[in-house]
Structure 1
Amino acid sequence: DHLANRRFVSGQFIRKPDQLDYLQEPDIFHDVFGHVPMLTDPDFAAYMEAYGKGGQRAQSLGMLKNLARLYWYTVEFGLMKEADGLRIYGAGIVSSATESVFSLEDASPNRLGFDLERVMKTLYRIDDFQQVYFVIDSIEKLKEVTLQDFGPIYERLKGAEELPIEAVLPSDRVFTRGTQAYAAKGGRFAA
């Protein structure tokens, strides 16, 4: 309801120094440093509003857990493809200096091209760094995808098998470190 009405609720506590790398609950630092700057982008704000409205419908259809995965893999832990490499935009990454480096430079997580239905089927965990990140082409494209009717997607997802975090499907677009583009960009990811 808050997002659907363009309201963003912030946590009311701040993490302790030993929680700087990872915290399971959103605190003021995460919300103000991670979320608020993105909310100043008109396309991202429209995406959040559409997500909030979609959440109301998803809840009524019993599909809220699938929609929650979209939030997790975009708003919290999203990566964006730019001409000179991948960039972080998810607040869960931005508010962790260590995961900021991990998400872009560590060889262990999968970085997959964004596919809405794929995202909605993929499980996630909240107790550690992510082992899969989804890469969007732009905030504008993310907004466009979110403004569609999710009804047909929800129908296909009913009874569909959930995908484990580590799954890489033959249809996935994979972004890897082992490309010449990575080396040519001085250690930054390039698509």
Structure 2
Amino acid sequence: MPLLANPVCADFMKAYGKGGQRAKLLGKLYHLARLYWYTVEFGLIREDEGLRIYGAGILSSPQETVFALEDDSPNRIGFDVQRLMRTNYIIDDFQQIYFVIDSFEALLDACYQDFGTVYSEVKGLPDLEAHDVLPSDRVFYRDTYAYFDLKGRRATAPS
């Protein structure tokens, strides 16, 4: 909730809500849910001092706060709407991937686009596992998978 005090974040949530109505009509609500998950709940932002947390889901867990910023296990990938909407997430453990925005303004700009086009572009493409790294990804940190391998969470070899 503290993010709602930031006018840009409040505008993002308003745009997200409007987008939810359209996503529901198009049967793409699960794609839009991933946007919420990987930003509002588990987002990282790049600042001059390094990566910082803004996602409420991370901040609610002292252990995940350290894991998201300091552990060698998770991927930290540059924010890309299409990429993010194809990526599965983990609901019962730390994330294997965190998407990094350059600024709240850049996030808002990305979300003011017509997601109908995005939904069309990802239609028919396979979902990505949380540990997948694509050649087109802007990688801030490529993970070691140590945490997830210990827990048996990575079902396939990384791409």
- 8 A Cα contact 1:105 1:177, kept in partner: no
Q: Deviations over 1:163-184 (max 9, x none)?
A: 1110000111111289xxxxxx
Alignment counterpart, residue 96 of structure 1, candidates 53, 61, 65? 61
CA shift, 1:157, in A, is: 1.6
Partner Cα separation in structure 2 for residue 69 and residue 94 of structure 1: 18
Root mean square deviation of aligned Cα: 1.2
Matched-pair identity in %: 63
- Deviating beyond 4 angstroms after TM superposition, the runs of 4 or more aligned structure 1 residues are none
Structure 1 partner of 2:50: 85
- 8 A Cα contact 2:16 2:111, kept in partner: yes
Partner Cα separation in structure 2 for residue 176 and residue 54 of structure 1: 30
Partner Cα separation in structure 2 for residue 49 and residue 177 of structure 1: 33
Q: Say yes or no: does 1:75 pair with 2:40.
A: yes
Partner Cα separation in structure 1 for residue 142 and residue 37 of structure 2: 23
- 8 A Cα contact 2:74 2:142, kept in partner: no
Alignment counterpart, residue 172 of structure 1, candidates 119, 122, 137? 137
- 8 A Cα contact 1:122 1:162, kept in partner: yes
CA shift, 1:78, in A, is: 0.1
Partner Cα separation in structure 2 for residue 146 and residue 113 of structure 1: 15
- 8 A Cα contact 2:75 2:142, kept in partner: no
Structure 2 partner of 1:139: 104
Secondary structure (helix, strand or coil) at the match of 1:168 reads coil
TM-score, structure 1 normalization: 0.73
Unaligned runs of 5+ in 1: 1-35, 179-191
TM-score, structure 2 normalization: 0.88
Q: Say yes or no: does 1:43 pair with 2:8.
A: yes
Q: Say yes or no: does 1:106 pair with 2:80.
A: no
Alignment counterpart, residue 117 of structure 1, candidates 78, 82, 105? 82
Partner Cα separation in structure 2 for residue 160 and residue 55 of structure 1: 21
Larger Rg: 1
CA shift, 1:158, in A, is: 1.6
